[in-house]
Amino acid sequence: MRVMAQMAMVMNLDKCIGCHTCSVTCKQTWTNRSGVEYVWFNNVETRPGQGYPRTYEDQERWLGGWTRTRRGRLTLRSGGRLRKLLTIFSNPKLPSIQDYYEPWTYDYDILTTAPLQEHTPVARPRSLITGEHTKIEWSANWDDNLAGAPELATRDPLIKGIEDKVRFEFEQTFMFYLPRICEHCLNPSCAASCPSGAIYKRTEDGIVLVDQDRCRGWRMCVSGCPYKKVYFNHRTGKAEKCTFCFPRVEVGLPTVCAETCVGRLRYIGLVLYDADKVLAAASVAEEHDLLEAQRQVFLDPQDPDVVRAAEQTGIPRDWIEAAQRSPIHALINTYRVALPLHPEYRTMPMVWYIPPLSPVVDVIRDTGHDAEDHGNLFAAIDALRIPVEYLARLFTAGDPEPVNSVLRKLAAMRSYMRDINLGREPREEIAAGAGMTGEQVYDMYRLLALAKYEDRYVIPPAHAEQAHGLEELATECSLDYDGGPGMGGSGPFGESSGGVSPIAVENFRMLRDRQSSDTMAAPDEKAHRVNLLNWDGKGRPEGLFPPRRQP
């Protein structure tokens, strides 16, 4: 047993209202630079729909992820190492910018500089790729809320074979939102596809990152990832991907997408897993067994043997405790309501989803029946084959049984809690109908419905924050003034060449210290740049005000 810790996420899709706040805040944080205009580390898709980039789930076309050979070995679907090197000069499976969308801006300037004229001036769209005027034809969420669904959603790769049964007339269809980030897989095919070995999985927390100094822009990761969550920065010529906001997670803060989520539907926590079992679990013969195989890879953090093994591999005590309180472990293995996205890609993804009950509830409510009655709900889950089949294609490689089981639990929770809220006697048989006890249902309700901040995010900080805090006392670089040599900028080889400008986030604890201490926390004698964002309002840092004029 080789115990490793993995930072993972679960999203409760019933709560997603498709507001795109996560996408926007993520973009503002990570991809608001030139070269990644078209890149959304976090995007929200309306399903059924084609997704972003268009039809990325059609692996017969894109050949992402892993496949199992007849001899039972795992190999990259797009071909082995030699094949990758031979096609390196022109990647045959790279999505074009049109498969994502051509990013644009507007001629805002026209609005203020146009001469006096009869008609109101119009800001025309301009492509950020060519710089020319353009016609906007697609975007990352062009088919939001099933817009254009009769034509567009029929090309969703997941409804192949059931096209005639999925209705796209407004009144008859079902839909839900699917927010997606990088899956930070246990068996990442992007990392396996990278010829330079620049993509790596961190041993401490399992976050998958691209080493920007080692990436050489071969683009194989983009086509290797079946979720198409590695992107090519066309200005710097390097691959970029979701970082799980590691500078925040390292100091115990949730990712930006999770922190800003309006529906509070994201959960972040640790799972412990057995690294020796990953490959075998990813190679099981039957695709329907992949979900259970991955669950078996996770270890029970309460098990004393696991705790001992974890301590032996150097996982700190507070990390083990965090893994024991982890909402992720509870949702995946205790309540068993979270399911992975496309386990059939065999990458062992680590962002899991609680499938939405809402398509079922909506149908019952629309027919005038009681949508909170467990009998109605259970019957509808069994009867509504299409939404369940669709969810199964997303989350369980097409096996409806686990989806049914999750939906029954969610339905039972709905009915069981109604009795409690109305002051009636709770009925154990409802919980039993979903294979749970009333107490379990209540605990699950607390985690899913109340979803307190501390329950949703159990993130142990990395063990260097003290050193960092101490370090910050007197190590500001004296060249780090605005426009100074320490500020980066452009080198002779074009944009962002030369030394790196590091990612900085205020140390959470230090910021809290400053905000709550009675004395001045910032060293006022240091002639360093005044950062109004973390100025604590106490004292007068030098340089904040102009020097006082002597009378």
Partner 1 sequence: MTALQILLWVALPYVAMAVFVVGHIWRYRYDKFGWTTRSSQLYENRLLRLGSPLFHFGILFVVLGHIGGVLIPKSWTEAAGISESVYHALAVTLGVIAGAMTLAGAAILVYRRRTVGPVFSATTRNDKAMYVLLVGTIVLGLGTTVLGNLTDHPHDYRETVSPWFRSIFYFQPKPELMAQAPLGFQLHVLSAWALAAFWPFSRLVHVFSAPVGYLTRPYIVYRSRDAHLGTRSPQRGWERTT
Chain residues 82-121 in contact with partner 1, contact rule CB under 8 A? 82, 84-85, 88-92, 94, 96-97
Please identify, among the stretches 116-124, 210-218, 329-337, 528-536, the one whose residues bind partner 1 according to the rule CB under 8 A.
210-218
Tell me how far apart the alpha carbons of residues 491 and 485 are, in angstroms, rounded to a whole number: 11
Interface with partner 1 (CB under 8 A), residue from 148, 484, 498, 539: 498
Helical H segments across 317-384, by residue range:
317-324, 327-329, 358-366, 374-383
Our finding on whether 215 is near partner 1 (CB under 8 A) is yes
Determine if 217 is a binding residue for partner 1 (CB under 8 A).
yes
Nearer to partner 1, 42 or 496 (CB): 496
Taking alpha carbons only, the member of 140, 158, 136 closest to residue 54 is 140
Among 81, 167, 385, 452, binds partner 1 (CB under 8 A): 81
How near is the Cβ of 28 to partner 1 at its closest, in Å? 20
Closest to partner 1 by CB, 211 vs 287, is 211
Q: What angle do CA 544, 547, 548 make, to 5 degrees?
A: 120
Q: How far is the CB of 197 from partner 1 (least distance, A)?
A: 5
Residue 405 burial (C-beta neighbours within 10 Å; 0-12, 13-18, 19+): middle
Q: Is 504 in the site for partner 1 (CB under 8 A)?
A: yes
In the numeric block, which tokens belong to residue 384?
């509504």
Which one-letter amino acid corresponds to residue 503? Answer: I
Q: Using DSSP, state whether 51 is helix, strand or coil.
A: coil
Count of residues of this chain found to bind partner 1 when the rule CB under 8 A is applied: 71
Query: 458 CB contacts (<8 Å, ≥6 apart)?
Result: 268, 269, 270, 322, 325, 326, 327
Alpha-carbon distances, residue 112 vs 2, 94, 121, 122, 124 (angstroms): 63, 41, 9, 10, 13
Helices 385-395/400-421 angle, 10° precision:
110
Kindly state whether residue 132 participates in binding partner 1, applying the rule CB under 8 A: yes
The encoded tokens of residue 213 equal 């100094």
169, 213, 482, 525: residue in contact with partner 1 (rule CB under 8 A): 213
Query: Segment 463-482, which members bind partner 1 (CB under 8 A)?
Result: 464-465, 467-468, 470-472, 475, 477
Taking CB under 8 A as the binding criterion, the range among 47-55, 126-134, 529-537, 542-550 that sits at the site for partner 1 is 126-134
Least distance to partner 1 from the beta carbon of 76, Å?
8
Shortest separation between residue 111's beta carbon and partner 1, angstroms: 25
Cα–Cα distance for residue pair 121/50, rounded to 1 Å: 35
Site for partner 1 in 391-430 (CB under 8 A): none
Q: Provide the CA 49 distance to its chain's centre, in angstroms.
A: 19
Residue 204: DSSP 8-state: T
Select the residue interacting with partner 1 from 49, 64, 179, 188 (CB under 8 A).
188
Tell whether residue 148 is a contact of partner 1 (CB under 8 A): no
Site track 313-352 with partner 1 (rule: CB under 8 A), x = hit: -x--------------------------------------
Residue 63 or 114: the one with the smaller Cβ distance to partner 1 is 63
Stretch (H or E) spanning 8: strand 3-12
- Residues 125, 109: Cα–Cα separation, whole Å: 12
CB of 239 to partner 1, least distance (A): 10
Please identify, among the stretches 18-26, 55-63, 330-338, 495-503, the one whose residues bind partner 1 according to the rule CB under 8 A. Answer: 495-503
225: Cβ contacts below 8 Å, ≥ 6 apart: 64, 65, 188, 189, 190, 193
Of 67 and 154, nearer to partner 1 (C-beta) is 67
User: Looking at 187, 255, 396, 404, which residue binds partner 1 (CB under 8 A)?
Assistant: 187
Binding mask 239-258 for partner 1 (x = CB under 8 A): -----------x--------
Candidate residues 200, 442, 481, 508; the one interacting with partner 1 per rule CB under 8 A = 200
In the range 32-61, which residues lie near partner 1 by CB under 8 A?
Answer: none
**Nearest alpha-carbon partner for 204 in 294, 310, 305:** 310
> How many angstroms from the chain centroid is the CA of residue 90?
29
Binding mask 281-320 for partner 1 (x = CB under 8 A): ---------------------------------x------
Closer residue to partner 1, CB minimum distance, 449 or 473: 473
Q: Is 238 in the site for partner 1 (CB under 8 A)?
A: yes
Place of tokens 């082995």: 80
Quote the CA–CA distance of 280 and 452 in Å, as a whole number: 37
Give the residue with the Cβ less far from partner 1, 10 or 186.
Answer: 186
CA distances from 162 to 139, 165, 171, 265, 389 (A): 26, 5, 18, 30, 9
Under the binding rule (CB under 8 A), the answer on residue 195 touching partner 1 is yes
Phi, psi of 268 (to 5 degrees): -130, 135
Q: How far is CA 182 from CA 70, 130, 231, in A?
A: 29, 28, 11
State residue 233 phi and psi, 5-degree precision. -80, 110
For partner 1, the closer CB: 131 or 546: 131
Closest CB to partner 1 among 314 and 375?
314
Kindly state the smallest distance separating residue 281's Cβ from partner 1, in Å.
Answer: 14
Looking at residue 462, its amino acid is: A
Q: Does 133 bind partner 1 (CB under 8 A)?
A: no
Please name the residues in contact with 493: beta carbons below 8 A apart, sequence gap of 6 or more.
none
Q: Residue from 168, 218, 352, 416 that binds partner 1 (CB under 8 A)?
A: 218
Give yes or no for residue 197 binding partner 1 (CB under 8 A): yes
